[in-house]
Amino acid sequence: MDLRKPDEFVVLKHDPKAVWQIIPLVLAAVLLAVGLAMFMSGTQQAIDVVQPVIVVFGGTLVALLITFPLQQLTHALHFALVRGVRGGTSPAEMVRAMVDVCDVCRREGLLGVAEVRSNSVEVEEVCHLIGDAATATDIEQGWDRRLGSERMLHQLAQDVFALTSIYAILIGAMASIVRMVGADDKLLTGANVLPFVAGVCLTILTTMLIGRLRSVHLKEMVVVEIAYRGATIILDDNNVQRLGTRLSMLVPQGLRN
């Protein structure tokens, strides 16, 4: 049996240490929030924005740490990096991987497919199913479990970022009210509404990320369908060209390269 290179069935690399790569993105978000807050409040000095931004970002972070376990927050950050920034898995990559699996099945049989190793959970799962000559019912059950897992992972991250938006608005509004209560002159000044503006800016950025994760989640659902439908097709007909054509038809028009 030919030895296959580790990268042959790579769909998307997931490095647990990659969560640290999101730190520059967080800093960029802070700087963007500072710039937006200065523009929206009419504040001229950047130093005047630092304190409200620290209050909003720090207060939001503390609220998140109280609400969620640290493991879920870490998962959300890693999720934001892999999917929000990198865009998740491409359906075209999954089609290519399944075509490679079909080629292995044609050359080496079901036992050859069972020995395929990939960094993609979907690819490895369907290879085990193909290697075991699973029935259509077994593949359907595996498909349902994978969809459920995908929905749960997405929901865990979405909950974190949804509450981040809510906390940012509430903490910013509360800080602005406190400033207005202690003001001796005009209430609605740029300095007094600055915390609320900072909270709005953070909410805008987080909402953009939620929308991005939502679109990638829908794409990942297509990727799961390609993998498990591909397993069913390979067990029925291991023709590489026909498989590639049938799986390519599963990719929506907007997700095609």
pLDDT tens, position by position, 60-111? 999 999 999 999 998 888 888 778 777 778 888 888 889 888 888 888 887 7
Packing angle, helices 22-41 and 47-67, rounded to 10: 130
Q: Would residue 11 count as lying in a domain?
A: no
Structure tokens belonging to residue 227? 């993998």
pLDDT of residue 17: 47
The string of pLDDT tens digits covering residues 106-153 is: 888 877 888 888 778 888 888 888 888 888 888 889 889 999 989 998
CA angle 123, 7, 20 (to 5 degrees): 90
Q: Would residue 10 count as lying in a domain?
A: no
Please state the three-class secondary structure of the chain as a single string. CCCCCHHHHCCCCCCHHHHHHHHHHHHHHHHHHHHHHHHHHCCCCCHHHHHHHHHHHHHHHHHHHHHCCHHHHHHHHHHHHHHHHCCCCCHHHHHHHHHHHHHHHHHHHHHHHHCCCCCCHHHHHHHHHHHCCCCHHHHHHHHHHHHHHHHHHHHHHHHHHHHHHHHHHHHHHHHHHHHHHCCCCCCCCHHHHHHHHHHHHHHHHHHHHHHHHHHHHHHHHHHHHHHHHHHHHHHHCCCHHHHHHHHHCCCCHHHCC
Structural domains of the chain, count? 1
pLDDT of residue 15: 47
Q: Would residue 247 count as lying in a domain?
A: yes
pLDDT of residue 47: 67
Domain interval for residue 133:
16-251
The least confident of 169-183, 204-218, 223-237 is 169-183
Model confidence at 4: pLDDT above 60: no
Model confidence at 188: pLDDT above 80: no
Q: Would residue 2 count as lying in a domain?
A: no
pLDDT of residue 22: 57
Q: Would residue 5 count as lying in a domain?
A: no
What is the chain's Cα-based Rg? 24
Structure tokens belonging to residue 12? 């998307």
* Contact indicator for 146, 224 with CB cutoff of 8 Å: yes
Mean pLDDT of 156-165: 92
Model confidence at 3: pLDDT above 80: no
Q: Would residue 8 count as lying in a domain?
A: no
pLDDT grade for 1, boundaries at 50, 70 and 90: very low
Q: Would residue 186 count as lying in a domain?
A: yes
* Contact indicator for 182, 170 with CB cutoff of 8 Å: no
The string of pLDDT tens digits covering residues 11-66 is: 544 444 444 555 666 666 666 666 666 665 566 666 667 778 788 888 999 999 99
pLDDT of residue 92: 86
Q: Would residue 77 count as lying in a domain?
A: yes
Mean pLDDT of 176-200: 73
pLDDT grade for 184, boundaries at 50, 70 and 90: low
